[in-house]
Structures are given as structure tokens and as C-alpha cells.
A and B are shown apart, each in its own frame.
Chain A
Amino acid sequence: MSEFELDLPKKKKRKKKPVKKEQKKSETNEEEENEFKFELPKKKKGRGRGRGRGKRGRGRGKRGRGRGRGRGRGRGRGRGKTKGKEKAKDLNSENLNQTEEPEIEYKVLKSEFEQGLKIEENPDYEYQELLTRFYKTLKERNPELTGENKFIMKHPKVIKGGSKKTVIANAQELCHAMRRRPDHVLSYFLAELMTTGSIDSDGVMIIKGVYREKHIVPILKRYIQTYVACQVCNSVMTSLIKDNRLFFVKCEHCDSKTTVQGIKSGAATNLLRRKQKFQNKK
């Protein structure tokens, strides 16, 4: 299997815009840090105290969850201890204007989710563009893998071989292209047309009766549909196998086996003539 390379042109990367909520929090944290005076906090401030509420805001437990979402100094998540320590470190390093990295996990997911939604609305590459580009490169480099397996075959050359006989000159080439024995193909033709025929040494088919190309092409098509084409993947790379008195069509593309009926010729209709002959003789 040959490999192929995709040469996508380089495009500018979009700068990640920070979410508005984080901006608000950073602002509030800066205000707090200025008030703190560089000490580890023993008391847990900011539990709803910003708006004149109780110590723990709204009557909840020590770690009052729920209502302190940044309205009360950004401490409403119940993890004030850790926050305070980290803040002290940051303050000592004197990097107040840097936006803090998100510490809690669900913060990160939310921002990524929101970014993903934005990308879907305004994508860099549209779906259709990518599809057409993919199929173009496939056709150029690996035409086998495309789904368009059009089996192009030559037309059978049908010639008049004297009155009452037709000749198919292409017979050997056709059978070779279809990977079938000419005997099998001949027997199918004769069963469908209810006539007699034979094959010459050159691989030329002779059929009794006057037929033209328009009569023979649909019979060929039917033969291909039943005995040559794989019923699973519709490919033409198949072979006929006989196994336990059954005919199988084995596909080389998808490696599947399907059973196929043998060729049965129709009833003998020469009885009419035989009756007439006997009557005339009498």
C-alpha cells in the first residue's frame, strides 16, 4: 500500500481569548491582595461578607458552597485554605497582574468547552472543503481505493457469419477480462438464447441464429451481475470455485464467498418438429 502525504497550508493560530468570568475573578483577587498585607489568613473571609451577610454567608457550613461565586470575594467554592496559601506565594513573588492558572478541574473543562463551541461556529476549515480536497488527492495517488470502481469492458464484436449464424470475435478477450472460462460463458449464452453454438480454435464463438449487438449486450450484463460481480462489495476481482458440488463466487477484494446456481438449459422444444416428421413419414 503506497503512502500519500497531506500538505495542508499553514494558517495563523487564533489567540485564545480568556473567559470573562476569569477576568472578573482576577480583578477581585487583586483587590483582596492589596488588603491582606502579606499574611496567611487565619479567618476565612469572604463568605458572603461583601454584601453584609453573616460570617458564613447564607447560613451554610464552614465551606459555604453555592452563593459565593465571585460576588463574595471569590471564596464561595469551599477551598479557601489552599487558595489563601497559594495567594501568599504569588504575592511574595510580586506578580500580581498575571492571570492565575485555573486550579480546579471543572474550570478548565468549562473554558475548553466554550472554546470548542466557538470554533464550531467559526471554523478555520469548512467540512466540504476538506472532503473535496481529500478525494482529489485520493484519486491522484491511490485510484484503487476510491469507491468508483467502474468496470469498463469492451463491447462484443458481433458479426454475421453467413445466413443463420452469428460470430462473436471478441470472445477470448472478454473472458480473460472477466476471469472466466469461455466454456462457462458459452453455456450461459446458449441457455438464455435457446440455441446451439460452439467455440473455434481461435477463441471465436459461433452461435446459431441471427443476432446483433443489441441482443447480446444485455445478456452479457446479466452474466456479470450474477456470476462475476461480488454481491457484498460490488467488485469484479472474483473467481469461480466449485466446492462440494456447489458453485461459489469468491471475491479477492473483500474475501467473501457467495453461492451461485449452475446454468440450466431450458426444455427441449424440438418435440413439435419430431412429431411433424413422424406424421409426415407415415
Chain B
Amino acid sequence: MTDIKNLETYDPFEDVQEETETKTKTSVFKPIHLRVKTRRGRKKITTIENLSSEFDLKMLLKEMRKKFCCSGSIVNDERLGEVIQLTGDQREPVAEFLVEEEITTKRGIKIHGN
């Protein structure tokens, strides 16, 4: 029956649903914030916010720790969700890392601080 085109059933609302779903996803644009905080003396901590929950944060952390030779952890914040913390001032290497892995573009990263 469905071999003949004219006899196929046609749902006119199929395409519309798909478009609305995609629109809601792309319309909300959340940039990734990189901040630095000073600890005792010259020690610092970098925080990475707003990473989307699609990614496996644990795997990302593991790779970053290996690359940058630092320690880190994931912290659950009340308003901002899950946040990655790394020891040391790692803003620029993290930005390069995110762009290389095609997680975001340069525009989607905002660096705060000095």
C-alpha cells in the first residue's frame, strides 16, 4: 500500500513539532564563565560554570587534571548547578581546551578577573 505515494498517509503536524523543539534549545544561550579566586598567599582556584549537563563532567575533569597537572573537584552549587574547580590559575588553558574539543566556540566563553 505504501509503495504508491498517493496512498500514503500524511501527518501535516510532524515537521512543526520538530521545529519548536529545536528552537527552544537554540534560543537559550548560556555562556561558560571562568573565574579565579585567591586562596592563601599566591594560590588560586578557577571555577567553570554553566557547562551543559549533556557532557560527562567526571570524564572532562579527569582529562583536564591530566593535561594541566593540577587537582580538581566537582561542587554542587544551589543556584548554578554543578561547577568544576581546579587549583591554580587555569583560565587560558581551559579556554583553549574547550575550543579544541569543540564543546563551545570562542564566543561562548567569558573570562572574568585580571
Q: Point out residues on A near B: beta carbons under 8 Å.
A: 191-195, 209, 215, 218-219, 266-269, 271-272
Contact = CB atoms under 8 A, between A and B. Distances in A.
Interface string B55-73: 0000000000000000000
Contacts of A218: 114
A269 B47 contact: yes
B114 A267 contact: no
A195 B113 CA distance: 11
Interface residues of B, number: 16
Contacts of B85: 269, 272
B75 A266 contact: no
Interface stretch (B5-13, B17-25, B29-37, B96-104): B29-37
Scoring A191, A269, A271 by chain B CB atoms within 10 A of each residue's CB, the highest score goes to: A269
A192 B37 CA distance: 9
A171 B112 CA distance: 21
B38 A195 contact: yes
B45 interface: yes
B83 interface: yes
Nearest to A193: B113
A266 B49 contact: yes
Given A218-B114, A269-B75, A272-B45, 9 more contacts: A194-B38, A194-B113, A219-B113, A266-B33, A267-B47, A267-B75, A269-B37, A269-B45, A269-B47
Interface of B: 33, 35-38, 45, 47, 49, 75, 77, 80, 83, 85, 112-114
A41 B49 CA distance: 100
A191 B114 contact: no
A81 B36 CA distance: 96
A209 B44 CA distance: 12
Nearest to A265: B35
Contacts of A269: 37, 45, 47, 75, 85
Contacts, number: 40
Scoring B35, B49, B80 by chain A CB atoms within 10 A of each residue's CB, the highest score goes to: B35
B66 to A, nearest CB: 21
Nearest to B79: A267
Contact of B47 (A191, A209, A266): A266
Nearest to A266: B35
Contact of A194 (B35, B77, B80, B83): B35
B107 to A, nearest CB: 15
B80 A267 contact: yes
A193 B111 CA distance: 11
Contact of A268 (B33, B38, B77, B112): B77
18 contacts: A191-B112, A192-B112, A192-B113, A194-B35, A194-B36, A195-B38, A215-B114, A218-B114, A219-B113, A219-B114, A266-B37, A266-B47, A267-B47, A267-B49, A267-B75, A269-B45, A269-B85, A272-B85
Given A267-B80, A267-B83, A194 B37 contact: yes
Contacts of A193: 113
A193 B114 CA distance: 8
A195 B47 CA distance: 14
A268 B83 CA distance: 10
Contacts of A194: 35-38, 112-113
